[in-house]
Amino acid sequence: MSKITEQVAALAQPVVEEEGCSLWDVEYVREAGEWYLRVYIDKEGGVSIDDCERISRRLDPLLDEADPVPESYVFEVGSAGAERELKRPRDFEQFMGSDVQVRLYQPVGGSKVYDGVLTGYEDGRVTVTVGKAEHSFDKAQVAQVRLRVSF
């Protein structure tokens, strides 16, 4: 499946950038019996519905022509969102010092969820500071890291 997302990312990248946005992620997932191809974009100051619509209209014929997806699917273009998932090293670098939520596969210290400040990332090891305590987790322990917005 990663081959599909890589192909779509290669098609989407120039279009997204021409529209003044950046490509955040591409996912191809099965939900409720249907396949979804999602292109997530970002832009300084936030992504508008018009940005999503323009990019979708430009990408749709390119995807039809390249045909990287063997099954029928639902195509969506959307904002990466304020509480986006951090996946790549560059994501962690960009948001170092930000509030995050770290979800673990198994409890560590009695908890599977740690809300705090991202204070380190090296070779997949995530470090988050919760209050005055620093917690580090190996890549194999971490199910997901998301930005966290508090109001």
- For residue 44, the number of C-alpha atoms closer than 13 Å in the C-beta half-sphere is 2
81: left (phi over 0), alpha (psi -120 to 50) or beta: left
Arithmetic mean of pLDDT over the chain: 94
Strand partners of residue 76: 38
Q: What mean pLDDT do residues 12-31 have?
A: 96
Residue whose C-alpha is closest to residue 124's, from 87, 85, 80: 87
In this model, does residue 148 exceed pLDDT 60?
yes
Q: What mean pLDDT do residues 87-108 have?
A: 95
Q: What mean pLDDT do residues 80-95 have?
A: 93
Write out pLDDT tens, residues 36-68: 999 999 999 999 999 999 999 999 999 999 999
Question: Alpha-carbon distance 106 to 100, whole Å?
Answer: 18
Enclosing H/E stretch for 137: strand 133-137
Q: What mean pLDDT do residues 64-80 have?
A: 93
Question: Alpha-carbon distance 72 to 97, whole Å?
Answer: 41
Q: What mean pLDDT do residues 133-148 have?
A: 96
Percent of the chain with pLDDT over 90: 93
Write out pLDDT tens, residues 1-17: 459 999 999 999 999 99
Helix, strand and coil in the chain, % to nearest 5: 30, 45, 30
Q: Read off the pLDDT band of 146 (50, 70, 90).
A: very high
The pLDDT value given to residue 101: 97
SS3 call for 21: coil
The pTM of the full predicted model, rounded to 2 decimals, is 0.81
The domains found in the chain, sorted by start residue, are 2-79 (3.30.300.70), 89-147 (2.30.30.100)
